Chain A
Amino acid sequence: MTNIPPNAWKLFATLSAFQKDYAVIGGTATVFHLEERNAQSQRATTDLDMAILELTTASDAQGIWDSLRDFFVSNNYSSQCLQSGKSQSFRFEASEDRQDIPSIIEIFSDETVPNSDRWVHRIPDAEMSAIVLPKPAIELVAQTKIMRDIAGTSVSYASLPSLILLKAIACQNLMVHPNPVEKSKHRKHIADIIQLSYLLKEGDNIEVPDSLWPYMAPLISEPETYFVPQRIRDSLWVDYSNMETRRSIKNLTPESFANILQTYFRKIA
């Protein structure tokens, strides 16, 4: 059964009219899938990543930007300035004493209005900006997203394979990041890919656009770089008291994950 994290109720209630316009991605979406497939819930943070699927100032999507802005203002979220002095208005932080709302909300969207020096683009009417994701990735998330009604609240989140793809994009981008602290964050995405790949089942197959394939290909062609045995054991939160599970985990190799990904992800031209 899928549960909404206690600090996300307010936000989802605010956005319930715009279910088709957004999808939760990142660690919170990972937890949704783990719970949905009766897997042990893994370590997560209290922040929330959200992809806006409809674009910028189109009238039907304007509502979600307005609602988000109202939510940020009414809950005293702040966005810090970048070193360049520009506003970092894709990352909104709540005050430390608030336990009832996500501590950080990050907004993602595609590169329709790119600002390449910051990898963010501005949505003028909403006075907000978003971290850029490739347009085909946003389209894929939009096509495959899951919409649920949980205890009277509407939630929309990325499908499991599209989430793996987003994690692969984040992982490849972070691995070449010049800042070592930022670079080290790629590990959490690999851990999530391991955990999520292990849950893939029939019907989860996805066709990956040619332009996104370079993010997935290294995971399949160089599995020993990503899925080292120690990392596999550390990343899989499973019931280790179950002998059968323990045995099946023991048999997992880097190649096992390459095979899983090859089975479920197919490149389309």
Chain B
Amino acid sequence: MKTLVQVSLAFIEEAFGKGTVALEGSCPLPAGLSLQTASSVEAFGFRFLGTAGTLIVISGLPKTQHVLALAAELKSLPAPRVLVLKEADKELAGLLVANDIAHIIPERKLFIPELGLLFKNAPARHERWRAQNATRLSATGRQVITCALLVTDTPWQQAWKPMELRGLLQKLLPHVGLSAATHTRLLAELVDLGFGESTSGGPHKRFSFFERDELWRRLLQVQTETILRKVRLSELPPKPVYAGNHALSRLSRLRLTEDEPIEIAMSQKEFESLPRVDGRTIPSRFFAQIWRNQPALTTRKNGEQCVNIIDLVLTKKNTTDPREREVLYELLQAANLSPEPLMETL
């Protein structure tokens, strides 16, 4: 395994090419460093574009004040003295730049003001976004996969022309509003997250979903955005869509306790349209789960509208109550979905 200094030297060479010569081995520490400051420091020489310098490798994750104290002592010395930090939080990184302290965070950042150098190895914004969301399925993506799992009379496994698929989804999820751009992003997201594959490009481009069992297993593996927040309501709105344990008790043989809260699901937009009341005076047991999208493909049982089984499982997948889990398994079996991926989440 490479040491931090080897990684740093490789980073310097990679960033600036052959002008850098890395001289491995320890160098005498600059005079003037107190023992206390130097206790966690190793120093290595390097030559950059003809200028000799010293890499001061700080091991561990030092405190901001220690780094600044060390840098202040190094500042009076001639030639570049560059701190090497394994990582730095936003505050420390900001202070280092503000105080003109030369530093390297290997593979991410190089800052040597004496030489007028600043190099950042940051990915483009859209790549960062994709990296951050590599395992997160958007609310729209979740609804599309829910359709593929619940609307079983559609041949989901066929190779779809993107526009045909968009037409179908617009029929099934009219409230989502799928523009051509949103739809393109959605398909890229589904491919990235392992729900389907895209073949060729241009007019011959086709998208196909993976098998139903695979979709279901994958849906439970990725992070999904379900409930944004929960708020207490003074009363239920007309035609509520029941969610949480209340929906579970309606759809299964689970019995609620007498004082159990009654949960409904609604979109942020719907919630904002409700009349405002003073939150401190609300004594009710009604709660709203605020979702990013309107609950789709709801199911009706004994005259009450409830969220569908997939959404219900996703919002309850972390429950440790054995009876709640038992009825969730039964509901999945009734929907021809294997309970095993859900069992693996416990």
Q: Can you give 18 A-B contacts (C-beta < 8 A)?
A: A27-B323, A41-B258, A43-B255, A43-B257, A43-B321, A44-B255, A45-B253, A45-B255, A45-B323, A96-B301, A96-B302, A103-B253, A180-B343, A181-B340, A184-B325, A191-B321, A191-B322, A230-B320
Chain A residues with CB under 8 Å of B324's CB are: 43
List A164-213 residues whose CB lies under 8 Å from chain B. Answer: 180-181, 184-185, 187-188, 190-191
Q: Which residue of chain A is the closest to B321 with respect to CB atoms?
A: A43
Please report the C-alpha to C-alpha distance between residue A159 and residue B201 in the assembled complex, in whole angstroms.
70
Chain B residues with CB under 8 Å of A187's CB are: 322, 325
In angstroms, how far is the closest chain A Cβ from the Cβ of B326? Answer: 6
Asked if A104 is at the interface (CB within 8 A of a chain B CB), the reply is yes
Please report the C-alpha to C-alpha distance between residue A104 and residue B327 in the assembled complex, in whole angstroms.
13
Asked if A134 is at the interface (CB within 8 A of a chain B CB), the reply is no
Chain B residues with CB under 8 Å of A191's CB are: 321-323
B255 adjacent to A5 (CB under 8 Å): yes
A45-B327, A187-B322 as given contacts; A181 in contact with B343, CB under 8 Å? yes
A47 adjacent to B326 (CB under 8 Å): no
Please report the C-alpha to C-alpha distance between residue A97 and residue B300 in the assembled complex, in whole angstroms.
12
Asked if B170 is at the interface (CB within 8 A of a chain A CB), the reply is no
List A138-172 residues whose CB lies under 8 Å from chain B. Answer: none
Chain B residues with CB under 8 Å of A46's CB are: 253-255
Q: Which of B326, B333, B340 contacts A188 (CB 8 A)?
A: B326
Asked if B329 is at the interface (CB within 8 A of a chain A CB), the reply is yes
Closest 6 CB pairs of A and B: A188-B322, A187-B322, A103-B253, A46-B253, A234-B320, A45-B253
Chain B residues with CB under 8 Å of A103's CB are: 253
Please report the C-alpha to C-alpha distance between residue A188 and residue B301 in the assembled complex, in whole angstroms.
26
Chain B residues with CB under 8 Å of A181's CB are: 329, 333, 339-340, 343
List B300-328 residues whose CB lies under 8 Å from chain A. Answer: 301-302, 320-327
Q: Which of B253, B321, B339 has the most CB of A within 10 A?
A: B253
- Count of chain A residues with Cβ under 8 Å from any Cβ of B? 25
Chain A residues with CB under 8 Å of B253's CB are: 45-47, 103-104
Please report the C-alpha to C-alpha distance between residue A126 and residue B255 in the assembled complex, in whole angstroms.
30
What per-residue 1/0 map shows which CB atoms of B289-309 lie under 8 Å from chain A?
A: 000000000000110000000
Please report the C-alpha to C-alpha distance between residue A99 and residue B329 in the assembled complex, in whole angstroms.
22
In angstroms, how far is the closest chain B Cβ from the Cβ of A43? Answer: 5
Chain A residues with CB under 8 Å of B252's CB are: 45
Please report the C-alpha to C-alpha distance between residue A44 and residue B256 in the assembled complex, in whole angstroms.
7
Q: Which residue of chain A is the closest to B303 with respect to CB atoms?
A: A97
Chain B residues with CB under 8 Å of A180's CB are: 340, 343
B320 adjacent to A185 (CB under 8 Å): no
Please report the C-alpha to C-alpha distance between residue A5 and residue B254 in the assembled complex, in whole angstroms.
13
Chain A residues with CB under 8 Å of B343's CB are: 180-181, 184
Please report the C-alpha to C-alpha distance between residue A264 and residue B179 in the assembled complex, in whole angstroms.
68
Please report the C-alpha to C-alpha distance between residue A8 and residue B12 in the assembled complex, in whole angstroms.
77
Q: Which residue of chain B is the closest to A187 with respect to CB atoms?
A: B322
Chain A residues with CB under 8 Å of B325's CB are: 184, 187
What per-residue 1/0 map shows which CB atoms of B92-115 lie under 8 Å from chain A?
A: 000000000000000000000000
A184 adjacent to B329 (CB under 8 Å): yes
Please report the C-alpha to C-alpha distance between residue A187 and residue B325 in the assembled complex, in whole angstroms.
10
Please report the C-alpha to C-alpha distance between residue A230 and residue B346 in the assembled complex, in whole angstroms.
12
**Given A43-B323, A45-B253, 10 more pairs with CB closer than 8 A:** A42-B257, A43-B321, A45-B252, A45-B255, A45-B327, A181-B340, A181-B343, A184-B326, A191-B321, A234-B321
